[in-house]
Amino acid sequence: MTYNELCTRIGTPKDIIIEYYENVDTEYVIQKLHISSIIRRIVISILLIAVVVASIELYSFHKLYKRAEDSIDGYVIERIHDETP
C-alpha cells in the first residue's frame, strides 16, 4: 500500500488531525494544553536555574584562579655556573 492510497482511503495527515480536534472534547484539549504549558515552564525554569548555578560556579572558579595567580610572585630563572677551569 502506498502513501497516496492511504491518503485516498483514510485522508491526509492534516485531515486526520482536523477531524480529531473537531470530534474531541474541548475540555480535554484545554486540559492537555494547560499541562503542556506547565511542563514547558518547569523545563525552562530548570534550565534557567542550571545556567545561573553554572555561572556562579564559573565566577567562583575564576576568582579562585585569580587568587592563586596573584599569590605566585612570578617566575624564577636559575643559572647554573659551570666551575670548570
pLDDT tens across 7-22, in order?
888 989 999 999 988 8
| Amino acid, res. 63 | K
For position 74, what pLDDT does the model report? 65
Which of 3-12, 52-61, 73-82 is predicted least confidently? 73-82
Q: The whole model's pTM is what?
A: 0.56
Q: pLDDT band at 49, cuts 50/70/90?
A: very high
Could you tell me if 11 and 19 are in contact, meaning their C-beta atoms sit under 8 angstroms apart? yes
pLDDT at 85 over 70: no
What is the sign of the dihedral through the CA atoms of 60, 61, 64 and 70?
Answer: negative
Provide the grid cell at 80: 647554573
For position 54, what pLDDT does the model report? 98
* Beta-carbon count within 10 A of 7 CB: 14
